[in-house]
Amino acid sequence: MDWKKKNYFGHGNFEDWLSYLFNVSGLTSSPHSPLKSIHWKPSKGSTDVFLTTEDECLLRGYIEKAIFAECALEIDRTEVAGTSDNPSSGHIPFIAKLIARDTNLGRTHLFTLNYDTLFEQAMEELGVQYFDGFSGRANSRFDPSVYGLDIYYPGDVAEGRVRRFDKFLQFYKLHGSIHWNSKPDGSFHARHQDLSFAKAYRDAAPKEKAVLLQTLKFGAIEPFGILPTSQKFTQTLDMPYAHLFRLFHARLNQPQTFLIVAGYGFGDDHVTRIIETALMNPSLVMLVIEPAPASAIHKRIRRYQGLGQRAFVLSERLNAGTKCTYKVATFSDFAQNVMPDIKWLEDYKRLRAFEGQIKKADEDPNDKAQGS
């Protein structure tokens, strides 16, 4: 909210503001629309503002690019090697501990509303295989049938000696991803790219950001997902999102399901309705990670508990007169300190650290000279 006020962003939240813009753009851009233009209300103390259809489309495109840049985050790749001085984002330990569960209990299914690719980057660092709804390598194309597949070690099938590959999970991005793009024929494709160019945008001042959005790098960014507007539910009825939400609903209604909710404030009605419907599943247990004890989520969970003691919330425990520190019950804290430790992650970190030492020794000419 402070950022919004500082940058004269008007009243209401960002989703409301963006909804107005996209609705206006939709009303005026269609050749079949009877509306030629819409008069924008002037802000207090300013003159009238008139945006043409071209201006509205251009502004919409810049906002999509800005959202892309804010979500083009990169994981700290030195974390696995144990050489990072930065606190863990939590993605690497979270993924590592998820896949450590007994495969006889079924595969882990990870659903996210985030556009960023931090989970994919974490899985790559850990050597974790995953299906994300896309098939193909050179030209990945959305194909929901991949969610019915699994990975096994080769073996003698006739003698029943085939084993499941341990480091594997099913991954779903319900609102899309910054590495997705749609084609004119309606198909969706996925391609990861170097995200380092976006860091300069996130570090820049507002006026500098406006200049960067007009550069060639940002010009290549295409629409990538369901943006935070009032049209979100309608867009989930289109492909590929309809497939993903159907699978989300089906997974929550499976017997003996344990649902961990982290980083979601129950603000999207189309998602919350699926979760609330799934609470009718008598064997579903839900744990919500929420840092703030005073959050409205606590009230919501108490209401869910009326359906049976199967909904719980994890928060910081405060003493009288103290305030929330937002250091515990966060995603990172939950992944590192609440989820059980696993031995293979520590062994894997030691291995990667050793690989780094060997690589450094090979690259250091002084070490070679001393060795000779």
- Indicate if 176 and 289 belong to the same structural domain: yes
Higher-confidence residue: 135 or 39? Answer: 135
- Indicate if 65 and 95 belong to the same structural domain: no
Q: Is residue 367 part of a domain?
A: no
Judge whether 274 and 233 are in contact, CB under 8 Å: no
- Indicate if 135 and 283 belong to the same structural domain: yes
* 284-296 per-position pLDDT tens digit: 999 999 988 888 8
Residue 353 pLDDT > 80: no
pLDDT of residue 12: 55
- Indicate if 53 and 169 belong to the same structural domain: no
**∠ CA(165), CA(120), CA(271), 5° rounding?**
100
Mean pLDDT of the 7-20 span: 66
Q: Which two tokens stand for residue 287?
A: 């744990």
Q: Is residue 85 part of a domain?
A: no
- Indicate if 14 and 163 belong to the same structural domain: no
Phi-psi region of 263 (alpha: psi -120 to 50; beta: other; left: phi over 0): left
pLDDT band at 95 (very low <50, low <70, confident <90, very high): very high
Residue 320 pLDDT > 90: no
Mean pLDDT of the 71-97 span: 85
d(CA 49, CA 36) in angstroms, rounded, equals 15
DSSP state of 115: -
* 103-136 per-position pLDDT tens digit: 777 889 999 999 999 999 999 989 899 999 998 8
Class of residue 191 by CB neighbours under 10 A (exposed 0-12, middle 13-18, buried 19+): exposed
Judge whether 168 and 107 are in contact, CB under 8 Å: yes
Q: Is residue 242 part of a domain?
A: yes
* 26-36 per-position pLDDT tens digit: 777 777 878 77
% of the chain surpassing 70 pLDDT? 88
d(CA 139, CA 152) in angstroms, rounded, equals 24
- Indicate if 275 and 175 belong to the same structural domain: yes
Q: Which residues are registered as beta bridge partners of 135?
A: 141
Q: Is residue 200 part of a domain?
A: no
% of the chain surpassing 90 pLDDT? 22
Q: Is residue 361 part of a domain?
A: no
- Indicate if 145 and 241 belong to the same structural domain: yes
Higher-confidence residue: 213 or 80? Answer: 213
pTM for the complete prediction? 0.83
- Buried/exposed code over 268-300 (b: 16+ C-beta within 10 A; e: otherwise): bebbeebbeebbebeebbbbbbbbeeebebeeb
pLDDT of residue 8: 47
Listed range (49-58, 102-111, 294-303, 307-316) with the worst mean pLDDT: 49-58
- Indicate if 256 and 146 belong to the same structural domain: yes
Q: Which span out of 2-11, 93-102, 214-223, 243-252 was modeled with the highest average pLDDT? A: 243-252
pLDDT of residue 4: 44
- Indicate if 233 and 99 belong to the same structural domain: yes
Q: Is residue 314 part of a domain?
A: yes
d(CA 348, CA 343) in angstroms, rounded, equals 9
pLDDT of residue 77: 82
pLDDT of residue 43: 65
- Indicate if 157 and 48 belong to the same structural domain: no
Q: Is residue 23 part of a domain?
A: yes
Q: What is the mean pLDDT of the chain?
A: 82
Q: Is residue 223 part of a domain?
A: no
Pairing of strands 39-40, 49-50: antiparallel
- Indicate if 30 and 116 belong to the same structural domain: no
Domain count, the chain: 2
Residue 156 pLDDT > 80: no
pLDDT of residue 372: 47
Question: Is the Cα dihedral 340, 130, 174, 203 positive or negative?
Answer: positive
Judge whether 272 and 232 are in contact, CB under 8 Å: no
pLDDT band at 48 (very low <50, low <70, confident <90, very high): low
Sequence-ordered list of residues with C-beta below 8 angstroms from that of 372, at least 6 positions apart, any chain: none
Residue 2 pLDDT > 60: no
- What are the C-alpha distances in Å from 352 to residues 89, 128, 202, 336? 19, 15, 30, 19
Q: Which span out of 3-7, 44-48, 167-171 was modeled with the highest average pLDDT? A: 167-171
Q: Which two tokens stand for residue 167?
A: 């480091």
- Indicate if 246 and 284 belong to the same structural domain: yes
Parent domain of 17 = 2-71
Question: Is the Cα dihedral 115, 119, 124, 127 positive or negative?
Answer: negative
